[in-house]
Amino acid sequence: MNKFFATRALILSWCVALIIPAAHAQLMPGTTQEIFKQFSEHVVKIEVVETSSAAKASTGTGFFADNSGRVVTNYHVISKLVHSPERYRIDVIDVAGGTTVGTVLGVDVVYDLAILRTHRQPKGHLVFESKPVAQGTRLYSLGHPRDLGLSIVEGTHNGLLKHTLYPKVHFTGSLNPGMSGGPTLTQDGKVVGINVATEGNQISFLVPAERAMALLDKTAKGEMPPPASFLADVGRQIHDNQSRYLAGMFDAKTPRVVLAPYDLPTKPAEFFRCWADAFRRKELPYVSVTHDCSTDDYIFVSSEQSSGIVRFYHQLLSTSELNPARFFTLYSAQLQGGNAAMFGNEEEVTPFRCQTRNVATANGKLKGVLCARQYIKLPNLYDAVFRAATLGSRNAGLVSTLSLSGVSFDNVQALSRRYMENLKWQR
């Protein structure tokens, strides 16, 4: 089960960029060339440089958003500097190869955006599209895929996604690593979105332009906050963002699914995607039915840490062949097996600590396990896994797991409670 989850998370890796123009695209002769020629000088390459070795640690793309030299890019492009400002610097390289040092003016970790300031007066800047863009509109994305030089990728606007934590633009075009933070333009050269992620096969995502405009407004005063304060700001933004998507989750209105004899919560919000399957094999004397719901999206915190993921997983085990002692060997192993597929390192998170109790809910008894770990650099944020196994039956059992990342401990407790109370037996 964790492999499945990890694979999907991996596919949704935070990379960005372009490369292969769609073979079936109906090119208007000269248009792409003209767009590239006209707007490429507003696009910059961003290099995060490790200062002691003077070598680049990561690269991305950005673009000038006003005449004062402010540059828009992704938070994940410059996150190394946010986490360790003493170890990195940002080089902003224009199309002619001129390099200037960029400083961070502000970040929005939820929408994966950052505003940099450079001391270079740009020749011009890009403007944002303020009108809604229709599905099917041809778009042009600019960026530095895999550090191969500035490239332009054609694609189409395919509306706003509903299953993400916030509406992202679905861009049908090939973004590739290194294009993160680059602009995606209409034929008029107006920015509709900022390159942010890809799932491969021309399925790519953009942060809507209005989010960048909002962050530009917030940083309009141009006051430079101290570098160390950004991490606290990142923590605060993740903290504040929780209320938006966790409020009411697993309340009485949550849709239900029946995995007889259990009545269970499913798809609590639009931004969840649910899958189900049954595992029946002739050589096995039991049946396993699974129901898995997860947010498809997450907030990039650092290369080894992500936040904002909510996932829950029901596994119903039943048998008509195994005696209770053998069935419970299997059932215990399922309850104890598997980890949460939560990665991390010693600098960013504590190890997990767990508690186990037999719990009597209004619906029945279950064995409840709550494991949690704390973020070290970001204040008051936790990853948590609540796992329950129903008790009382001799030949059927449900192991249900809820995992949360980057939430307050109050939310860990509140959601564990609501989730537990939502695990019901059919009457």
Partner 1 sequence: MAALGYIEILDGKGGVSERIAVDGFPVTLGRAYGNQVILSDPFVCPLHLKIVQDEQGRLLASDLDSVNGFYPVSGNARVAQSELQSGSQFRIGHTTLRYVSVDHPLAPTQVDGAVKVMPLASPYAAVILGAVLVLLLCLESYLSSVERVTVAKIIGDTWVTVSMLATWAGMWALTSRIVVSRFNFARHVTIACLALLTISALGLVAEWAEFFLPWIPLLWIAGVFGYGLVLAGLVYGHLGSASLLRRRSRLWAAAAVSLIVVGTSAISDFAARSKFSTIMEYTGVVKPIAAAWVPATSVDEFVASADKLKMELDALTKKAKALQ
**Which positions lie near partner 1, rule CB under 8 A?**
283-286, 322, 324-333, 335-336, 339-340, 342-347, 349-362, 364-365, 367-376, 382, 385, 387, 389, 391-392, 394, 397, 409, 412-413, 416-417, 420-421
Q: Which is nearer to partner 1, 219 or 288 (CB)?
A: 288
| Burial of 382 per CB tally in 10 Å (0-12, 13-18, 19+) | buried
Least separation in angstroms between residue 381's CB and partner 1 is: 10
Residue ranges in 247-347 assigned as alpha helix (H): 324-336
Q: Which is nearer to partner 1, 125 or 387 (CB)?
A: 387
Spatial separation of the C-alpha atoms in residues 211 and 198, rounded to whole Å:
19
DSSP assignment, residue 52? T
Least separation in angstroms between residue 9's CB and partner 1 is: 14
Least separation in angstroms between residue 56's CB and partner 1 is: 25
- Other Cβ atoms less than 10 A from the Cβ of 283: the count is 4
Whole-number CA gyration radius for the chain: 24
Beta strands at 190-200 and 127-128: parallel, antiparallel or unpaired: parallel
Q: Which is nearer to partner 1, 162 or 353 (CB)?
A: 353
Q: Which is nearer to partner 1, 45 or 424 (CB)?
A: 424
Spatial separation of the C-alpha atoms in residues 151 and 36, rounded to whole Å:
8
Q: Which is nearer to partner 1, 225 or 338 (CB)?
A: 338
Least separation in angstroms between residue 392's CB and partner 1 is: 3
Q: Which is nearer to partner 1, 219 or 319 (CB)?
A: 319
- Other Cβ atoms less than 10 A from the Cβ of 195: the count is 34
Least separation in angstroms between residue 304's CB and partner 1 is: 10
Could you tell me which of 78, 83, 75, 80 has the C-alpha nearest to residue 108?
75
* Alpha-carbon distances of 109 from 155, 171, 194, 415, 420, rounded to whole Å: 26, 21, 14, 23, 31
Spatial separation of the C-alpha atoms in residues 331 and 398, rounded to whole Å:
9
Where is 417: in which H helix or E strand? helix 409-421
Least separation in angstroms between residue 420's CB and partner 1 is: 6
Least separation in angstroms between residue 353's CB and partner 1 is: 5
Query: Phi-psi bin for 406: left (phi > 0), alpha (psi -120 to 50), beta?
Result: left
The structure tokens listed for 128 are: 């944002």
Give Cα 269 to chain centroid, integer Å: 16
Least separation in angstroms between residue 165's CB and partner 1 is: 23
Q: Which is nearer to partner 1, 174 or 290 (CB)?
A: 290
> Cβ(93)–Cβ(44) under 8 Å?
yes
Least separation in angstroms between residue 340's CB and partner 1 is: 6
273 contacts: CB under 8 Å, gap ≥ 6? 163, 267, 293, 294, 295, 296
Could you tell me which of 67, 60, 65 has the C-alpha nearest to residue 45?
60
Spatial separation of the C-alpha atoms in residues 56 and 71, rounded to whole Å:
19
Q: Which is nearer to partner 1, 248 or 324 (CB)?
A: 324
Q: Which is nearer to partner 1, 103 or 374 (CB)?
A: 374
99 contacts: CB under 8 Å, gap ≥ 6? 91, 92, 93
Least separation in angstroms between residue 378's CB and partner 1 is: 10
Q: Which is nearer to partner 1, 202 or 403 (CB)?
A: 403
DSSP assignment, residue 41? G
